[in-house]
Chain A
Amino acid sequence: MKKIIELLQQNPQVNDWRILENSTESYELFFIHDQLETVRKTDTCTCTVTVYVDHQDFRGNSTFTVYASDTPDDLAAKIQSACAKAALVCDRPYALPSEGTLKAKLPSNLEGRAMSEIAAEVGRAVLAAGHLPTGGINALEVFVKKTTVHVQNSRGIDKEQVRHSVAIEAIPTYNGEKESVELYEYYDLSTLDLADLSAKIKGRMQDVSARGVATRPTEGISCPVLLTAGELRNLFGTLAYDRGFYDAYAHTNLLSPGDLLQTDPQGDRITITMRDHVEGSPAGSYFDADGTALVPCTVIKDGKVVANFGGSRFAQYLGCEPTGELPICQVDGGATPEAALRAVPHLECVYMSGLQVDTYSDYIGGEVRLAYYFDGTRRIPLTGISISAKLSHVLNHLRLSSETTVQGRYAGPAAALLEGFNIF
């Protein structure tokens, strides 16, 4: 890296530079049924260099990738080529973040252990938890990773963070007399709790068994829809990421600070804060790709848009303080215990093809592969149905659970009851 920096500093056309290294060591196991199909090991690094060239009243940038085999001559040529490309770009000037050093590790209980041992432990635990007389885990992939991100720039940024994680893709399967059915599970964890993981898999085995006996409804259903964290992550994530500085600068976000997200809230009011860390989330970070320190930012408060968030460049263009590209969407819990939400008749959508949320088209909906219809007394597994609604109506008629949970980049209500869906 010293050689690249030296070459960048020697090139008179380079006004600023940034080097971003992303190194990954991983150990991966792939199981089919309870047999080991593939063992993988990776030791790779992606290193990109961005050069910034000022010309007339403009600034341009261009990025290239450094290969492990690049010689000093290769690097000098790549820098020169990138300068020529950057000089073609006539963007408004902006400054790079400056003066910050950091060397940090994100909290994890995976550090210091052999990756092969962790992967085997996870594999055994998931397969054991999924074992049923009528089913099991048909396929399992375990990825144990150590990722190091290092960003340096010409203005004194030199920050590095190390993240340990384990990602798990599992396919719980139920083998009934007439047909076999499956669900899809994906977990990305920074802290491994085998008991919790086993409990989740056992819960999903119950769900997949329910899918095995689920039927298509014989008559129309009209009731509120209950979504849990997996789908709420998608809903609130879409609302949150519409608040980015880039979209605001490009005039492509629908709402601006001061606008109402919930125009006539009949239920809970939505508050979303973008955060750098939340305990239990594997997405936590100290800085973004430019090295900007992350500052939590409430973007929606009580149903009203109050701020945008994002990195240094577009913050400067908009005259705002940069928050950095915040990775985690935290939603405030509501006033109602989850048990109370579940006490009224509802359709709980347990497993969807993918909840579609479209702010432009004011749409929310999708295909439901497993749902439980609670009619007030019975909990009936259903499949082969779809739901759709006007997003604006749903947002005005939702109740959020007081209990919160963390799932990937989402931290917020464990469940929400939403009204206004067509169920068909």
Chain B
Amino acid sequence: MALSAFLQSKKEACRALVEALGRHFDYVSILGTDVKATSVRVNRQISNVGEDSGSTECGFVLKLNSGRAFFEYSLDDITGDIEALADRIVAELVIDPSLVDACIQAAPIADEPLVESFERPSDLADFDEATLLAHCNQIKDQLLAADEHIVNAMVIIRTLNVHKLFVSTNKMLDQNYAWVNAYSIITYRDGDKMISAREGANGPCLGPVLERLPTRTPILVDKARHLITATPIEPGVYDVITDPSITGLIAHEAFGHGVEMDMFVKDRALAKQFVGDYVAAPIVSMRDGAASCLSVASYFFDDDGVPAHDTQIIKDGILVAGISDLGSASVLGTEPTGNGRRESYKRKAYSRMTNTFFEPGQDKLEDMIASIKHGYMIFETNNGMEDPKNWAIQCVAEYGIEIVDGKLTDHYVSPVVISGYVPDLLKSITMISDDFVVEGSGSCGKGHKEWVRVSDGGPALKARVKLG
């Protein structure tokens, strides 16, 4: 995948705009995005083939700084008179006189010279929409034929084709990569009870995803047959085993948000005071980074033009470091870690997670299950909510399976809400499996907005938590 023709054609205009604005600001950068998202979707009654307009974007965002407050300007195009555009941008980025003296102080921004083009091989061009639609219809028909209680089946294949161009005084970077997410979702009804169940496949190339998704069909149908029998859980504190999805959710909500270093700047993260201290059991290690593994949040440079990192967050139970964007690093006087991400060119860059996970341990999953007299194995992320200031946590799982006398039973419970105090949860981890899965299909908001694609995961954990 080479840089898109659109961004290729704008390189010189970007250079010229950086130069023109450089007469007003010490630091100027421009990020150009050309992201095309497509969706092929079928269910029992309707189908759709086209762009996923919610994720498709094409435009530019400028970042400007002269040692105090940052300025950003988002716009659709930079075609035309560059000098006039620069004048317009400067004129429109006014600050009300009452706020001029209230601007923050930031350290000068390093703009290390770097000119490079990055690309990850992709097979998106090898498949046309007719092929994808036929594939979706085949899986949908198999699902609908599998059980009379399946009232609807939806199959979705989403592709994301990312091209980004970053230009500053000393940098000219571009990156080009793709990601594929596919899902099968069924609605299963038995009398007055109805449930929804899903299975997915994802990866950087379509071919393997198309091979993998149909293999999930029998698993999905079996899961639905069990979920329809699920009962509410009796609230209480239990020994649990988390599947990789829930492990990842805990990593994400417990310490991922808590080490986003723009939260350090705002004094919104308790973790700031705990760097160098034990925050988890000594068997726990955790990492984040666009370069830490290959998943949906793997890129070559972030939206601030900082190269992707692999950051060790927790090492043997001790909090080691946080993750930062360029702005928060410049205020804190630290090195940015390649975690500056935007929902789109229309939005601000914040410190954000990428691929976040617990590292594998040395236990066998079967031994972990066998070690529990009574508890639950918890599966599949529904949603979660962070509280980095006060280390409360809520993780909502789709379902759990009761463990009795060291064996998984047929008793499903749903939904399952994990809540509690982060250090209590992390320090209660006593076993970690030796396997490892990162789920590349998540998205994450900061507070209740600013959605970006993230992955999380890890091994299975054994912990003691409050379930409700």
Q: Interface residues, chain A, CB within 8 Å of chain B?
A: 24, 28-30, 32-46, 48, 50, 60-65, 67-69, 82, 84-86, 88-92, 116-117, 119-120, 123-124, 138-139, 169, 171, 173, 179-182, 184, 186, 211, 249-252, 254, 317, 353-354, 356, 358, 360-363, 365-367, 369, 383-384, 386-388, 390, 422, 424
Look across to chain A and name the residue whose beta carbon is closest to the beta carbon of B97: A120
| Inter-chain contacts of B187 with A (CB < 8 A) | 250-252
> From residue 325 to 359 of chain B, which have CB atoms closer than 8 A to chain A?
327, 331, 345-346, 348
Beta-carbon contact of B75 and A367 below 8 Å? no
Look across to chain B and name the residue whose beta carbon is closest to the beta carbon of A254: B194
Residue among A37, A41, A44, A116 with most chain B CB within 10 A: A37
> From residue 17 to 68 of chain B, which have CB atoms closer than 8 A to chain A?
43-51, 53, 56, 58-59
Beta-carbon contact of A39 and B415 below 8 Å? no
Q: How far is the CA of A30 from the CA of B265 in the complex (A)?
A: 13
B392 at the interface (CB under 8 A from A): yes
Q: How far is the CA of A383 from the CA of B448 in the complex (A)?
A: 21
Task: Determine how close the nearest CB of chain A comes to the CB of B450; give it in whole angstroms.
Answer: 10
Beta-carbon contact of A139 and B268 below 8 Å? yes
B371 at the interface (CB under 8 A from A): no
Beta-carbon contact of B235 and A360 below 8 Å? no
Segment of B87-95, B296-304, B307-315, B432-440 engaged in the interface with chain A? B87-95
Per the CB 8 Å criterion, the residue count for chain B at the interface is 80
Q: How far is the CA of A182 from the CA of B391 in the complex (A)?
A: 11
Look across to chain A and name the residue whose beta carbon is closest to the beta carbon of B424: A384
B208 at the interface (CB under 8 A from A): no
> From residue 91 to 138 of chain B, which have CB atoms closer than 8 A to chain A?
92-96, 98-99, 102-104, 129-130, 133
| Inter-chain contacts of A369 with B (CB < 8 A) | 387, 390, 392
Q: How far is the CA of A50 from the CA of B387 in the complex (A)?
A: 41
Look across to chain A and name the residue whose beta carbon is closest to the beta carbon of B268: A138
Beta-carbon contact of A34 and B394 below 8 Å? no
Beta-carbon contact of B74 and A43 below 8 Å? yes
Q: How far is the CA of A120 from the CA of B100 in the complex (A)?
A: 11
Q: Interface residues, chain B, CB within 8 Å of chain A?
A: 6, 43-51, 53, 56, 58-59, 69-77, 79, 89, 92-96, 98-99, 102-104, 129-130, 133, 151-152, 187, 189, 192-196, 230, 232, 235-236, 265-268, 327, 331, 345-346, 348, 383, 385, 387, 389-390, 392-394, 396, 414-415, 417, 419-421, 447-449, 466, 468
Majority DSSP secondary structure for residues of B touching A: mixed
Look across to chain A and name the residue whose beta carbon is closest to the beta carbon of B130: A88
Beta-carbon contact of A85 and B50 below 8 Å? yes
| Inter-chain contacts of B72 with A (CB < 8 A) | 38-41
| Inter-chain contacts of A353 with B (CB < 8 A) | 385, 387, 392-394, 419
What are 25 A-B contacts with C-beta separation under 8 Å?
A: A24-B346, A28-B348, A33-B266, A37-B265, A38-B327, A44-B59, A44-B74, A62-B48, A67-B6, A67-B76, A69-B58, A89-B133, A92-B45, A92-B46, A180-B267, A250-B44, A252-B194, A353-B385, A354-B383, A361-B195, A366-B417, A367-B392, A367-B393, A386-B417, A422-B468
- Contacts A65-B51, A386-B235, A386-B468 aside, 19 further interface pairs with beta carbons under 8 A come to A32-B265, A33-B267, A37-B69, A37-B327, A38-B70, A39-B71, A40-B71, A44-B75, A44-B345, A69-B58, A124-B98, A171-B266, A179-B390, A354-B394, A367-B385, A367-B394, A369-B387, A369-B390, A390-B232
